Structure 1
Amino acid sequence: MKATWALFNLVYVQSGWQRFLPSSAIAILSFLAAKGTATSAEIDEELRDSPYTADGLTSEVWEPPLEYTQEELRQLDEHSEGTPLQGESSVLSAEVVNAQARATWTRQIAEFADFSSHLGLATPHTLADLLDFMAAARVIVLANSQYSINPLAPLPEEVLPLSESRRETEAQLRWGHLHQEMSQQILALFKPQQPDYVNSLSTTINELAQSLLADPQSIREALVVLAEEGDFTITGDPLRASADELFPVGVDWEAFYASRLSVRFTDPPGEDE
């Protein structure tokens, strides 16, 4: 089972299929990750156990977007950590927020219809149609009436008609994700969740590699990921610096807490702290 969940992560998350498949695909793929293989009847039975897919494989692919009231938006802002959902300078009405959500939903459906047409399929409406789409895109394979996640699944741009700019974006996202874990380990050296947080470090590639028990090249790539996210500054080019060259790495705490909501542990350090 551990291997099939690793495969799920590789195909759905790391390869980027999560950005192209409807969110309802997670119900099918997570079941295949848990079970390994399953027939369409077994998938249908599993789906019927959830109130969101009570009709099994005949359930709709696309759930309508949530409709918010003004009070619900206000409460979401109050309970959001870090940057509010609506900036103080441009508070959006529920009407505008709901209209934007519907426009995004409509655009996603239209795009997915184009993808289906490219693969020679009709516009998907049900989860059975989505199963056919994922098989046609080789995200999953069907053998002996059993579906499973494809260990050789192609990247989205290898089977979908994407623009050149979107292909480049996908490549950049995968590169960033590949080195995200190591960048988080470097980030932790600045102790963002502790009172004795660190504003800057003067270090070398080799020192970081030894400290984190990592390959020097992965350290270089992770430093680039940190720098590109905007809240860390690195003097010099970590990809070209010699392994023993001393260079400073600094963090802008205000930018850090504004952009990294998932790692916010305390209030951002003040300038006079």
Structure 2
Amino acid sequence: MSAANDNSSRKARASLFTTTWFNLGWSRHVPATGLAVLQPLVLHGPLSVEELGRHLIPSPQAPDLGWESTAWEPLEVYTDESLQELRAEFEDTPFATGPDEPDTAEGVMAEEARLRQERMDEIDRWSRELGVEPVRTLRHLLEFLIAAGVLTTTGTGEGALVQLNETAPLPGEVLTLSDEDRRFDDDLRWQQLHESTAQALIDLFVPGEASTTTLTTSLQRLARQLDLAVESVRAGVLNLLNDGDFTASVDVERLLDHQVFELTVDWEKFRSSRITIVHGSHD
């Protein structure tokens, strides 16, 4: 295969990975070490189980034991001092400490251990439903991903060929999710679907020294500016309104295409609430 074709294939695999892991929502329902299994398949394409085992990217905080490496990242160990430094670093960001979080390192570690156990119990339940072993090692995680349809295999044993599934299911199609998780997944997929439009809308604002900037416009005008359908623009505006840093002067869901309205951004809230959406990042 030529270098150009190989690069094109890798880009296609990377796009498929992004769709499966992020857009479909599998990143929320699989341990983070799922990346150790999936990333080599993005870089190299289909691999046998044996070959994949040689390309695994296990946690740098845990021993590299190949397929027997832990499927769970070691929990952080804090001191009161290191915890305060971490909280100061993330002050005024979406990751800032909430009012109900423990005050001490001991309390934080106990809470993280509780949440980890809840997570493991949940994935253990899904493993039983899928007919595979509880996820403790990367080999268990591979079996889980295959049983869930995230990956496909051809053949058996160590020589079985593993690859990303081009038609991976939604998590809720194969896992028993709570109603709350289903709603969260649906909302997240909707936001991701319209994120590029939301970013394009952000670029229409020019940050100044004032804390807020207002754009007086209509859905039709925005559609012409962005070369998009009116309903795509409406969805993009609704996406922006989710985090509280953008406000609209009208109910955007009921807004007529030609109706003039004001879209306002609070830049102070914007800076503290948005990490991944950056001015100009969609280009």
Per the normalisation by structure 1, the TM-score is 0.88
Provide the residue aligned with 1:23 in structure 2.
Answer: 32
Q: How far off its partner does 1:31 sit?
A: 1.1
Q: How far off its partner does 1:143 sit?
A: 1.5
**Would you say the 8 A contact 1:191–1:198 is kept in 2?**
no
Question: Counterpart amino acid of 1:187?
Answer: I
**Would you say the 8 A contact 1:86–1:92 is kept in 2?**
no
Provide the residue aligned with 1:171 in structure 2.
Answer: 186
Stretch deviating more after TM superposition (164-173 or 145-154):
164-173
**Would you say the 8 A contact 2:36–2:57 is kept in 1?**
no
Stretch deviating more after TM superposition (207-216 or 57-66):
207-216
SS in 2 for 1:43: helix
1:33-112 equivalences in 2 (<5 Å): 33-47=42-56, 51=60, 52=62, 54-80=64-90, 82-83=92-93, 85-86=96-97, 92-112=103-123
Q: How far off its partner does 1:4 sit?
A: 0.5
- For the residues of structure 2 that align with 1:261 and 1:21, how far apart are their CA atoms? 23
SS in 2 for 1:239: helix
Provide the residue aligned with 1:268 in structure 2.
Answer: none
CA separation of 1:262 and 1:10: change in aligned 2, threshold 3 A? closer
**Would you say the 8 A contact 1:232–1:252 is kept in 2?**
yes
CA separation of 1:90 and 1:175: change in aligned 2, threshold 3 A? closer
**Would you say the 8 A contact 2:197–2:233 is kept in 1?**
yes
SS in 2 for 1:250: strand
Identity among equivalent positions (%) equals 33
Residue 133 of structure 1: which of 144, 149, 160 is its match?
A: 144
**Would you say the 8 A contact 2:247–2:263 is kept in 1?**
yes
Q: Does 1:222 align with 2:221?
A: no
CA separation of 1:196 and 1:59: change in aligned 2, threshold 3 A? same
Provide the residue aligned with 2:195 in structure 1.
Answer: 180
Size of the alignment, in residue pairs? 264
**Would you say the 8 A contact 1:257–1:264 is kept in 2?**
no
Q: How far off its partner does 1:161 sit?
A: 0.6
CA deviations 1:195-241 (Å, max 9, x no partner) are 57761111111211222222222111011111122121112233332
Stretch deviating more after TM superposition (164-173 or 99-108):
164-173
SS in 1 for 2:244: coil
**Would you say the 8 A contact 1:140–1:149 is kept in 2?**
yes
SS in 1 for 2:252: coil
Q: Does 1:116 align with 2:131?
A: no
CA deviations 1:12-41 (Å, max 9, x no partner) are 110000000000001111111111211111
**Would you say the 8 A contact 2:37–2:57 is kept in 1?**
no
- For the residues of structure 2 that align with 1:152 and 1:53, how far apart are their CA atoms? 34
- For the residues of structure 1 that align with 2:24 and 2:69, how far apart are their CA atoms? 26
- For the residues of structure 2 that align with 1:169 and 1:50, how far apart are their CA atoms? 28
- How well do the aligned residues superpose, as a CA RMSD in angstroms? 2.4
CA separation of 1:191 and 1:76: change in aligned 2, threshold 3 A? farther
Q: How far off its partner does 1:182 sit?
A: 1.2
Structure 2 residues not aligned, in runs of 5+: 1-9
Q: How far off its partner does 1:48 sit?
A: 6.6
CA deviations 1:155-189 (Å, max 9, x no partner) are 00000011223212211111111111211221232
